[in-house]
């Protein structure tokens, strides 16, 4: 994918006012304040080392990027079928969409996320509805779902951008 086409697709996505809005202020200060309050509220549960880990670092801005959903493009699928080769060439497929990502390796909440993950990892098995993995799910389902039940799955378009704030 050439750089200009990629930039066009990224801007097309970011300019979609149904899912994105441009903000005039930087929310980082307010987020940092809320994060510090959250940590202060739970400081009796945290060690000094935990608090230092969660608070003492210099956060950086996150970057937006998109991965092309080549498997969803009818134009690309038709090109692959028509060219019948392991390498195909197609020029700027109009129906190509991007899967949005925010890369924040040094974001404000970067350290909080895995920390919370570690804490709840040990709590989850005690929840009655907790299912550890696929095999546990497959073994559990026949016991609770009638045999004549039809199980389905769904492909949600733009899942994360469709979750309400």
Residue ranges of the domains in the chain? 3-131
DSSP per-residue codes, 33-86: HHHHHHHHHTGGGS-HHHHHHHHSS-----EEEEEE-GGG-HHHHHHHHHH-SS
> Which 3 state secondary structure label does DSSP give 9?
helix
**Structure confidence at residue 92 (pLDDT):** 94
- Give Dmax over CA atoms of the chain in angstroms: 65
Which residues touch 141 (CB under 8 Å, ≥6 apart)? 151
Distance of CA 134 to the CA centre of its chain: 21
**Structure confidence at residue 154 (pLDDT):** 83
Read off the pTM.
0.69
Which residues face 98 on adjacent strands?
A: 68
Report residues of the chain scoring pLDDT below 70: 165
**Structure confidence at residue 8 (pLDDT):** 96
**Structure confidence at residue 90 (pLDDT):** 87
């Amino acid at each position: 994918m050439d750089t200009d086409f990629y930039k066009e697709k990224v801007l097309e996505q970011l300019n979609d006012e149904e899912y994105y809005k441009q903000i005039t202020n930087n929310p980082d200060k307010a987020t940092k304040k809320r994060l510090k309050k959250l940590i202060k509220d739970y400081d009796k549960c945290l060690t000094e080392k935990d608090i230092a880990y969660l608070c003492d670092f210099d956060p950086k801005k996150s970057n937006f990027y998109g991965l092309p959903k080549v498997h969803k493009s009818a134009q690309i699928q038709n090109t692959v079928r028509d060219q019948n080769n392991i390498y195909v060439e197609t020029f700027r497929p109009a129906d190509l969409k991007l899967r949005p990502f925010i890369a924040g390796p040094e974001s404000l909440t970067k350290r909080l996320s895995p920390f919370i993950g570690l804490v709840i990892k040990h709590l989850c098995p005690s929840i009655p509805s907790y299912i550890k993995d696929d095999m546990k799910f497959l073994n559990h389902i026949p016991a609770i779902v009638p045999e004549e039940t039809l199980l389905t799955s769904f492909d949600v378009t733009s899942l994360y951008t469709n979750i309400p704030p």
